[in-house]
Amino acid sequence: ESGALWGGRFASGPSPELARLSKSTQFDWVLAAYDIAGSRAHAKALASAGYLDEDELGGMLAALDVLDADVADGTFVAAESDEDVHSALERGLVERAGKELGGKLRAGRSRNDQIATLVRLYLIDHGRVIARDVIHLIDAIVSQAEAHPDAVMPGRTHLQHAQPVLLAHQLLAHAWPLTRDLERLRDWLARASASPYGSGALAGSSLGLDPVLVAHELGLDRPTENSIDATASRDVVAEFAFITSLIGINLSRFAEEIIVWNTREFGFVTLDDAYSTGSSIMPQKKNPDIAELARGKSGRLIGNLTGLLATLKALPLAYNRDLQEDKEPVFDSVNQLEVLLPAFTGMVATLRFDTARLRELAPEGFSLATDVAEWLVKQGVAFRDAHEISGELVRYCEERGLALDEPDDAALAGVSEHLTPAVRSVLTVDGSIGSRLGAGGTAPERVQDQLVTLVGRVGAL
Ligand code: ARG
């Protein structure tokens, strides 16, 4: 007998071409355990509404346990004739519970409310795994920041030397977006924790089954409010795909910095051998492949999101088979992040920074010019003029191949009467960094503050 869930009104079974097109067991089998959990909950709702007596419920749950174990150890697998995970598992249940009892479970549910529920359960579980992996990465960043409390580096805008900053400040700048991603996952979880079970195909159930019971059995907060919306919407899936894309993008920005820092020209970092690769032809090479894969996979994650959004665009309500296309992209995003994050964390945890070189480069490119301008403001000069004077000092130094702190007193006074020798107090990297005491600034006290705040924010999640 074929595993098809219909037949009554059909004179023939599906053509082989249709069966091949329609089949989803090759990717939806990862939902099998969730489907069985849904069946357990549904059986209890049927029993509590009087459609299964106590013996029948016991028999049904026992058969589902056997099926669960058989799926887990690979004894039960999808057959060629099974269309999807739901039809395969109904076949498996009937084989174990018998036609009479097994045939009762489908009452009051549809694959449409099933699939909408199962995909949420899958994403909630994997969202937890991804959140844990992101926390490990944030921990690695925080450890590197704590290990380098005094290290300074050239801060950049437009990839040009801008102002010196603490290395810890720059590193923590990558931890904050990831922390917000964790908060996004938490906010998403609140929306995702509604159970579409009981919505049926689209119109709801006439059997008086308790949707709250099912929701709670499945570990969800509550049932959904609208059976049409519950079976037709996939914004919960799209939002998850967006959050995973954003995690990928945030990794890719860190990755790009690591790739640049790791070049001979920058020479800011060395990668650990265990987290870099060699070349098959060039014996000297040591490549930042983890960072490059992060950069590459972020494109793939964006593709998964946009593909899903394109599937949803202008799709009429309620369920359409197009919705079967929601799963592969989001499953792929989960799989990619679950392999990428641990490798990325290992790479970050083992980065070695050349702090001497970072310190040497920090004041280059006249990166203290803003400090001169702000010092002038503190002496009562209008910022417009201060900017001009500081710019003239940069030009004076550039023409003579001098650093900003090298002109003598007379030369300073020649640029502007306001440039007294006292300006030299701000013409050091540590003086510049130490003066940036404003909220979120790069002064060591502020970086220590933000580190404590960050650890608290992550700890509260
Ligand atoms: N396998 C389908 C999906 O992934 C669920 C089945 C609903 N099929 C249907 N013909 N109503 O969306």
Where in the chain are the domains? 16-107, 112-206+224-357, 364-459
- Ligand 1 mean position, distance from CA 321 (Å): 6
Q: Which of 302, 4, 363, 14 is closest to 154 using CA atoms? A: 363
Confidence of residue 8 (pLDDT cuts 50, 70, 90): confident
CB 171 within 8 A of CB 144: yes
Residue 87, classified by CB atoms within 10 Å of its CB into exposed (0-12), middle (13-18) or buried (19+), is buried
Alpha-carbon torsion (40, 42, 47, 48), positive or negative: positive
The residue whose C-alpha atom lies closest to atom 10 belonging to ligand 1 is 321
User: Residue 404 carries which side chain, given as an amino acid letter?
Assistant: L
- Ligand 1 mean position, distance from CA 112 (Å): 6
Substitution site in 22, 84, 123, 320 for ligand 1 pocket (most atoms within 8 Å of beta carbon): 84
Give me the CATH topology for the region 16-107: Fumarase C; Chain B, domain 1 (1.10.275)
Among 110, 233, 276, 279, the active-site one is 279
**Model pLDDT, residue 400:** 95
Quick: pLDDT tens for 81-115.
999 999 999 999 999 999 999 999 999 999 999 99
Report the 10 Å Cβ neighbour count for 384. 9
**Model pLDDT, residue 3:** 59
Task: Dig out the tokens for 454 from the structure.
Answer: 């960050």
Range 17-37 average pLDDT: 96
Q: What is the ipTM of this complex?
A: 0.94
Task: Dig out the tokens for 5 from the structure.
Answer: 């869930």
Substitution site in 237, 319, 322 for ligand 1 pocket (most atoms within 8 Å of beta carbon): 319
- Ligand 1 mean position, distance from CA 277 (Å): 44
Residue 457, classified by CB atoms within 10 Å of its CB into exposed (0-12), middle (13-18) or buried (19+), is middle
The residue whose C-alpha atom lies closest to atom 4 belonging to ligand 1 is 324
**Model pLDDT, residue 1:** 45
Share the mean pLDDT of the chain.
95
Least confident of 5-9, 217-221, 325-329: 5-9
Give me the CATH topology for the region 112-206+224-357: Fumarase C; Chain A, domain 2 (1.20.200)
User: Has residue 215 got a pLDDT over 80?
Assistant: yes
Which residues surround ligand 1 with Cβ inside 6 Å?
24, 28, 84, 111-112, 115, 319, 321, 323-324
Please give the CATH superfamily to which domain 364-459 belongs.
Answer: Fumarase/aspartase (C-terminal domain) (1.10.40.30)
- Ligand 1 mean position, distance from CA 43 (Å): 21
User: Has residue 4 got a pLDDT over 90?
Assistant: no
The residue whose C-alpha atom lies closest to atom 12 belonging to ligand 1 is 324
Q: In 44-75, which positions are buried (b, 16+ CB within 10 angstroms) versus exposed (e)?
A: bbbbebebbeeebbebbbebbebbbeebeeee
Task: Give percent of the chain with pLDDT exceeding 90.
Answer: 93
Half-sphere exposure of 304 (CA within 13 A, CB side): 28
Active site residue 279: yes
Confidence of residue 134 (pLDDT cuts 50, 70, 90): very high
Active site residue 158: yes
